[in-house]
A and B are shown apart, each in its own frame.
Chain A
Amino acid sequence: MALKHLRSLIALGALVPLLALAQGTPAPAGCEVPAELVQDDPTFPILAERLKTKQPVVVVVIGGSSTTGRAAGGGDAAYPHELELALQHRYPGVPITVLNKGVAGETAEQMAARMERDAIAENPALVIWEVGTADAVRATNLDEFTATLQAGITQLHEHRIDAMLVDMQYSPDTTSVINFQPYLDGLHQIGDLADAYVFRRYDIMKHWSEAGVFNFTDVPKSERRELATKVYACLGERLADAIDYAVR
Chain B
Amino acid sequence: MAEPAVRPVRDLRLDFFRGLSLFLIFIDHIPGNILSYFTLRSVAFSDAAEAFIFISGFTAAIVYGTVLRQRGFLLSAAQTYRRVWQLYVAHVFLFMIFTAEVSYTLNAADNPMYAEEMGVGNFLNEPHVAIIEALLLRFQPTFLDILPLYIVMLAGFPFAMVLVQRHALWALIPSALLYVAVQRWGWALHLYPDGHPWFFNPLAWQFLFVIGAVCGNFQALGWRVLPEGRWIPWLAGGVVVFCALVSLTWLIHSIYDPFPPVLAQELWRPAIDKTNLSPVRLVNFLALSVVAVSVLPRDSAFLAGRFAQPIVLCGQNSLYIFCLGILLAVLGHFVLAEVTDRLLVQLLVNAAGIVLMISAAFIIAWYKKASRPAASAAAARPAE
| A interface list, Cβ under 8 A from B | 41, 64-66, 70-71, 104-105, 133-134, 137-143, 146-147, 150, 169, 171-182, 186, 188-189, 192-193, 216-219, 224-225, 227-228, 231
Top 4 nearest A-B pairs by Cβ distance?
A173-B109, A71-B112, A176-B337, A71-B113
The one of B115, B194, B275, B330 in contact with A143, judged by C-beta atoms closer than 8 angstroms, is: B275
B31: Cβ under 8 A from any A Cβ: yes
**A143 CA to B204 CA, complexed, in Å:** 15
B64: Cβ under 8 A from any A Cβ: no
Whether B112 contacts A169 by the Cβ 8 Å rule is: no
Whether A65 contacts B272 by the Cβ 8 Å rule is: no
B318: Cβ under 8 A from any A Cβ: no
**Which residue of chain A has its CB nearest to the CB of B29?**
A179
B237: Cβ under 8 A from any A Cβ: no
Cβ of B108: which chain A residues have Cβ within 8 Å of it? 173, 217-218
B273: Cβ under 8 A from any A Cβ: yes
Task: Say yes or no: A171-B109 contact (C-beta < 8 A), given A141-B196, A176-B334, A179-B143.
Answer: yes
Whether B115 contacts A65 by the Cβ 8 Å rule is: yes
- Tell me if B's interface is mostly helix, strand, loop or mixed: helix
B333: Cβ under 8 A from any A Cβ: yes
B119: Cβ under 8 A from any A Cβ: yes
> Which stretch from B130-138, B261-269, B290-298 is at the chain A interface?
B261-269
Whether B111 contacts A177 by the Cβ 8 Å rule is: no
Cβ of A216: which chain B residues have Cβ within 8 Å of it? 111, 113
The one of A133, A150, A175 in contact with B32, judged by C-beta atoms closer than 8 angstroms, is: A175
Q: How far is the CB of A32 from chain B (nearest CB, A)?
A: 21
**A142 CA to B198 CA, complexed, in Å:** 11
Cβ of A181: which chain B residues have Cβ within 8 Å of it? 31-32
Whether B273 contacts A177 by the Cβ 8 Å rule is: no
Cβ of B113: which chain A residues have Cβ within 8 Å of it? 66, 71, 169, 216, 224, 227-228, 231
Q: How far is the CB of B332 from chain A (nearest CB, A)?
A: 10
Cβ of B114: which chain A residues have Cβ within 8 Å of it? 169, 171, 173-174
B102: Cβ under 8 A from any A Cβ: yes
Whether A174 contacts B117 by the Cβ 8 Å rule is: yes
Residues in B76-107 with C-beta less than 8 Å from chain A: 98, 101-102, 105
Whether A178 contacts B338 by the Cβ 8 Å rule is: no
Q: List 5 A-B contacts (CB under 8 A).
A: A143-B272, A177-B142, A186-B272, A217-B109, A218-B108
**A31 CA to B105 CA, complexed, in Å:** 27
Whether A139 contacts B199 by the Cβ 8 Å rule is: yes
A173-B337, A217-B108 known; 20 new pairs, CB 8 Å cut-off, are A65-B116, A104-B116, A133-B116, A141-B275, A142-B273, A150-B269, A171-B117, A173-B109, A174-B109, A174-B117, A175-B333, A175-B337, A176-B333, A176-B334, A176-B337, A177-B141, A181-B32, A189-B268, A193-B268, A228-B113
Cβ of A177: which chain B residues have Cβ within 8 Å of it? 98, 101-102, 105, 120, 141-142
**A172 CA to B143 CA, complexed, in Å:** 17
Whether A138 contacts B101 by the Cβ 8 Å rule is: no
Cβ of B228: which chain A residues have Cβ within 8 Å of it? none
Interface core residue of A137, A138, A174, A182 (most chain B CB under 10 Å): A174
Cβ of B268: which chain A residues have Cβ within 8 Å of it? 189, 193
**A42 CA to B325 CA, complexed, in Å:** 41
B249: Cβ under 8 A from any A Cβ: no
Task: Say yes or no: A41-B257 contact (C-beta < 8 A), given A105-B119, A141-B197.
Answer: yes
B276: Cβ under 8 A from any A Cβ: yes
**Which residue of chain B has its CB nearest to the CB of A36?**
B257
**A150 CA to B265 CA, complexed, in Å:** 11
Q: How far is the CB of A47 from chain B (nearest CB, A)?
A: 22
Q: How far is the CB of B144 from chain A (nearest CB, A)?
A: 11
Return the CB mask of B221-263 against A: 1 if under 8 Å, else 0.
Answer: 0000000000000000000000000000000011001000100
The one of A71, A172, A178, A219 in contact with B142, judged by C-beta atoms closer than 8 angstroms, is: A178
Task: Say yes or no: A147-B269 contact (C-beta < 8 A), given A71-B115, A175-B337, A217-B108.
Answer: yes
Cβ of A66: which chain B residues have Cβ within 8 Å of it? 113, 116
The one of B105, B111, B116, B272 in contact with A105, judged by C-beta atoms closer than 8 angstroms, is: B116
Return the CB mask of B338-378 against A: 1 if under 8 Å, else 0.
Answer: 10000000000000000000000000000000000000000
**A167 CA to B272 CA, complexed, in Å:** 19
Whether B116 contacts A137 by the Cβ 8 Å rule is: yes
The one of B109, B112, B141 in contact with A70, judged by C-beta atoms closer than 8 angstroms, is: B112
Cβ of B105: which chain A residues have Cβ within 8 Å of it? 173-174, 176-177
The one of B116, B274, B330 in contact with A64, judged by C-beta atoms closer than 8 angstroms, is: B116
Cβ of B101: which chain A residues have Cβ within 8 Å of it? 176-177
**A12 CA to B269 CA, complexed, in Å:** 56
**A5 CA to B178 CA, complexed, in Å:** 82
Cβ of B197: which chain A residues have Cβ within 8 Å of it? 141
**Which residue of chain A has its CB nearest to the CB of B102?**
A177
**A177 CA to B143 CA, complexed, in Å:** 8
Whether B117 contacts A169 by the Cβ 8 Å rule is: yes
Whether B273 contacts A70 by the Cβ 8 Å rule is: no
**Which residue of chain B has its CB nearest to the CB of A181?**
B31
**A41 CA to B112 CA, complexed, in Å:** 33
Whether A180 contacts B31 by the Cβ 8 Å rule is: yes
Residues in B137-157 with C-beta less than 8 Å from chain A: 141-143
**A225 CA to B197 CA, complexed, in Å:** 37
Cβ of A174: which chain B residues have Cβ within 8 Å of it? 105, 109, 114, 117-118, 120
Cβ of B330: which chain A residues have Cβ within 8 Å of it? 176
Cβ of B109: which chain A residues have Cβ within 8 Å of it? 171, 173-174, 217
